[in-house]
Amino acid sequence: MTGFSRRRFIAGAAGASAAIGMPQIAYGQAAARVVVIGGGFGGATTARFLKKASPQLNVTLVEPNRRFVTCPYSNLVIGGWRKLDQISFGYDRLAKAGIAVVHDTAAAIEHDRKRVRLAGGRMLPYDRLIVSPGIDLRWGAIAGYDEKAASLMPHAWKAGEQTLLLRRQLESMPDGGLFVMAAPANPFRCPPGPYERISMVASYLKQSKPRSKVLVLDAKENFSKQPLFQDAWAKLYPGMIEWVPVGKDGKVVKVDPKAKTVETEFGQVHKAAVANVIPPQFAGKIARDSGLADQSGWCPIDPTSFESRLVKGIHVVGDATIAAPMPKSGFAANSQGKVAAAAAVAMLQGKALGPIGMVNTCYSHVGKDYAISVANVFRVVPDRGLIEVPDSGGTSPRQWEDENRRLESVYADGWYASITGEMFG
Amino acid sequence: MKIHIIVAGIVALAVAPASAQTADVSILASTCSGCHGANADGSGGIPGLKGQQQAYIADQLKAFKGGSRPATVMNRLAKGYTDEEIAGLALHFSRLK
Ligand SMILES: Cc1cc2nc3c(=O)[nH]c(=O)nc-3n(C[C@H](O)[C@H](O)[C@H](O)COP(=O)(O)OP(=O)(O)OC[C@H]3O[C@@H](n4cnc5c(N)ncnc54)[C@H](O)[C@@H]3O)c2cc1C
């Protein structure tokens, strides 16, 4: 019996039958144990789908926070469109679904012994492990921008207190003030996110502080859905937003949080009334500390299963992975989590998963009754790996009736309700 | 003891349908729920798929793909699926209760 244990084998087989709607077969043996680190988009989805595929599987979810605040729609909180508690979710329904939810932090993964050590001291043995810790910010990558600086110049790139801080700063900003955003180079969490945020900030300022200006200093030459965003800005917020690409000295290299100044590569200093600094990022600490990340700071995976290419028996999903051309989005993490769950169940059974397909759609609100989107369908092709299906997907058209922009804003809300319902409902 | 374990395993495998095609469609279909709702019963203006007629779902997906039914996003997504996958998806959602 080398290579697989009795409990893995049996739970896996029963799991596969459950996944495709066959009656359950109970054997009365101890169930296989799957531990999931991180209760966000990737982790909560994976835990739900593991349990769905194989109800007798022993699924433990480790997440320090009792309430998860979604980054999606946090830009709407910054714009004053939603309240934070409308985008916050508890884990009760996961527990009701039979998932053991442990509110603690994974301190170390001992992969040679197949167990996770929690900060509180507990050990969680596993047969397979799923890791979805999201991102960490690279403190110091921009000179002067560390954790302390973030309390004066919020990043708001992890939702919660930072989101509220940026909102409060906007509310107390004088009319005629300058809002400055430093946007990062690729790859980073949520490619259209900074520009949705700019739209939300402009919508608030236009209404409440119309003499104010918005300056985006960008470390890249172009950005996601750029023509659609810029068309919307010209139409809805004419003259308010200036976007500076890296080639025009847009890259912020240094900040002074007390003076509220940001400095670019070629030495221009901009004084802000409110500064939103989104620094470069890498995979969450637990992934980097456990040998799951390579020198880039992100985690290489096999896209057919999202198993780590560096450590067998561990799947990594979500923002922490290298999964281009998939973006680092909540929808992508959700789609990846479903693949990882199915793959983990199949592997417990000693089988491989067949060809898989994944989807991503990122909606961005740019103004009232006006949203835009980018949609993609992905699959894994032998020899070529993870690809976007040719001639599919793409962005909303540039020339379009207002009614379609309005419909996309309605569908964006529908998407948000669906995906959060699937995780937490 | 070991012999018993192996036998139990083989029996379990034999009752689990081995068709890779079916399993694939269940993964494809699971990606639709990000918009159409965890149980595919629709969400905030996005129509439900659960229990719709198999032929209707297949026809709509083909119409999105070919461009004869206008759409905001389904036209872009439907182009990512083969006709066999569309048939599998239609069957899957028509059977949901
Ligand atoms: C402003 C903004 C807007 C966005 N809008 C959208 C959008 O509209 N649509 C979209 O699809 N995506 C959007 N995103 C992107 C989306 O938020 C991320 O892609 C998504 O959260 C990634 O999921 P994840 O599971 O990798 O990480 P997360 O969702 O961040 O989850 C990681 C979880 O792991 C936990 N964790 C970390 N380390 C440990 C540890 N050691 N032990 C235990 N738990 C741990 C964390 O507490 C966290 O809860 C947006 C992002 C931002 C910043």
With H, G, I as helix, E, B as strand and everything else as coil, classify residue A281.
Answer: strand
Note the pLDDT tens digit of each residue in A26-54: 344 578 999 999 999 999 999 999 999 99
**Each residue's pLDDT tens digit, A344-381:** 999 999 888 888 999 999 999 999 999 999 999 999 98
Q: How far apart are CA A358 and CA B66, in angstroms?
A: 21
pLDDT digits (tens, 9 = 90+) for A11-27: 444 434 334 433 333 34
Are A217 and A264 spatial neighbours (Cβ–Cβ below 8 Å)? yes
Q: Is A75's pLDDT higher than 90?
A: yes
Q: Which of A254, A316, A321, A282 is nearest to A188 (CA)?
A: A282
Compute the Cα dihedral for A222, A247, A269, A141 and give only its sign. positive
- Provide mean pLDDT across the span A153-165: 98
Among the ranges given (A356-360, A391-395, B22-26), the one the predictor scored with the smallest mean pLDDT: B22-26
Whether pTM exceeds 0.95: no
Cα(A8)–Cα(A43) distance, integer angstroms = 21
Instruction: Tell me what the mean pLDDT of segment B15-31 comes to.
Output: 59
Phi, psi of A131, deg, nearest 5: -120, 120
Q: Calculate mean pLDDT across residues A291-316.
A: 97
**Over 70: is that where the pLDDT of A113 sits?**
yes
Pocket of ligand 1 (CB under 6 A): A 37-43, 62-65, 68, 71-72, 74-75, 105-106, 132-134, 157, 189-190, 193, 197, 284, 286, 318-320, 328-331, 333, 362-363
Min Cα–Cα distance to chain A from B53, Å: 19
Return the exposure string of A73-100: e unless at least 16 CB atoms fall within 10 Å of the residue's CB, then b: bbbbbbbbebebeebbbebeebeeeebe
What mean pLDDT is predicted for residues A94-102? 98
| C-alpha to C-alpha distance for A422 and B39, rounded to whole angstroms | 8
Burial of A130 by CB count in 10 Å (0-12 exposed, 13-18 middle, 19+ buried)?
buried
> Which H or E element spans position A11?
helix A6-19
What residue type is A265 in one-letter code? Answer: E
Q: Above 50 in pLDDT, residue B6?
A: no
Is 90 exceeded by the pLDDT of residue B57? yes
A384 Cβ contact partners less than 8 Å away, ≥ 6 residues apart: none
Distances (CA, A) of A297 to A144, A286, A323, A329: 21, 12, 13, 18
| A120 interfaces chain B, CB cutoff of 8 Å | no
Residue-wise DSSP of A118-186: ETTS-EEE-SEEEE---EEE-TTSSBT-STTGGGTS----SSSHHHHHHHHHHHHSPTT-EEEEEEPPS
Confidence at residue A329, expressed as pLDDT on a 0 to 100 scale? 98
Mean pLDDT value across residues A302-318: 97
pLDDT at B62: 98
Q: Which residues, 6+ apart, have CB-to-CB distance to B24 below 8 Å? A: A354, A355, A356, A357, B88
pLDDT, position A352: 80
Model confidence over A235-283: pLDDT tens digits?
999 999 999 999 999 999 999 999 999 999 999 999 999 999 999 999 9
Q: Is the pLDDT of residue B93 over 90?
A: yes
Query: Would you give the end-to-end CA distance of chain A in angstroms?
Result: 40
| pLDDT, tens only, B62-72 | 999 999 999 99
Q: What is the ipTM of this complex?
A: 0.90
CATH number at residue B78: 1.10.760.10
Domain with B47 in it: 2-95
pLDDT one-digit tens code per residue, A65-74 = 999 999 999 9
Instruction: Please say whether the beta carbons of A78 and A196 come within 8 A.
Output: no
Question: What is the C-alpha separation between A52 and A337, in angstroms, rounded?
Answer: 13
Which domains does chain A show, CATH number per domain? 3-64+104-136+281-424 (3.50.50.60), 139-277 (3.50.50.60)
Tokens linked to A278: 């989104």
Chain A residues touching residue B79 (CB < 8 angstroms): 377, 389, 391-393
Beta-carbon separation of A377 and B77 below 8 A? yes
Answer yes or no: are the C-beta atoms of A196 and A364 closer than 8 Å.
Answer: yes
Q: Which of A329, A359, A365 to mutate to test the pocket of ligand 1 (most atoms within 8 A of CB)?
A: A329
Tokens encoding A367:
């103004």
Looking at residue A246, its pLDDT comes to 98
Count of structural domains, chain B = 1
Rounded distance from Cα A267 to ligand 1 centre (Å)? 34
pLDDT of residue A18: 39
